[in-house]
Amino acid sequence: MGTVRLGTPAKVDCDVNEAKLVVAGFCFGKTELRWGELTKLEVGGDITHRKRPRWAYRIYDCVPASEGSELTIHDVLLTAGLDSRINSESASGIYAVLDEVNEALGAIPQATKFWDFPTDDLRRVPSESSLAWNVWRAWWLLSGVYNVNTATSHKILHHKRPWQFPLLDSETQACYTDRNSTWAEIAGELRRHDNEFSELESWFADLAKQHDGVSLTRLRLHDILLWCRATGQWDGARTAGESVTAVDGS
């Protein structure tokens, strides 16, 4: 059985079966709904025992992107489901640079995957002749908007093109010693663990069908594993995953 090691030094170090439990729990785990705490009105039946998704898969990954290849304000606003904290100023600032962002995205062949780019082109901004230059440019254009940080720009771009842009925030970026080369480190890990992530992608596609969900690319699976470890959510997600897979017989 393959082992997955992510981060430098390794923050995630587990076998594929444990990774499956964490992913299953993150995506399909539930918790109690907090409801009725701020109102004393009674209008209809009681729903206080309803549950909600515990983490963000249902309200981010499962929300469809806009139709077509171009990024739209729809794609920007739906990232609220992953705590992007987009407000009217940042959204209008993004709107002002959308044409340039879409020009960069349009120059990246749809079939090209993030982990296929040369490592050096992900470690630093390459020449304009490189396809990866447009990946950097799209990210740079969004990140330069006032009140749009690195995490928000990644959340926007990943949701639109989940096979071409990684997810990163301050918690997961801190898992790498050299934060300036995080993209290159992530791509390297995906290449080194190609067999393990291929298995995770295939397994999760089947699990998602059982739960009326959507499949995930290895970039998102990588992020879920690293984020759960970095934020102290690993054990909770793993326990939730045991319940999910026990019901499914997975």
Tens of pLDDT along the chain (250 residues) come to 699 999 999 999 999 999 999 999 999 999 999 887 777 777 877 777 889 999 999 999 999 999 999 999 999 999 999 999 999 999 999 999 999 999 999 999 999 999 999 999 999 999 999 999 999 999 999 999 999 999 999 999 999 999 999 999 999 999 999 988 999 999 999 999 999 999 999 999 999 999 999 999 999 999 999 999 999 999 999 999 999 998 766 5
CB 53 within 8 A of CB 244: no
The pTM of the full predicted model, rounded to 2 decimals, is 0.95
What is the C-alpha to C-alpha distance for residues 139 and 152, in angstroms, rounded to an integer? 10
128 secondary structure, DSSP code: T
What is the C-alpha to C-alpha distance for residues 178 and 123, in angstroms, rounded to an integer? 10
- Which domain range does residue 203 map to? 3-39+46-248
If one counts the domains in the chain, the total is 1
The pLDDT tens digits for 206-247 are 999 999 999 999 999 999 999 999 999 999 999 999 999 987
107 secondary structure, DSSP code: T
pLDDT for the residue 38:
75
CB 105 within 8 A of CB 138: yes
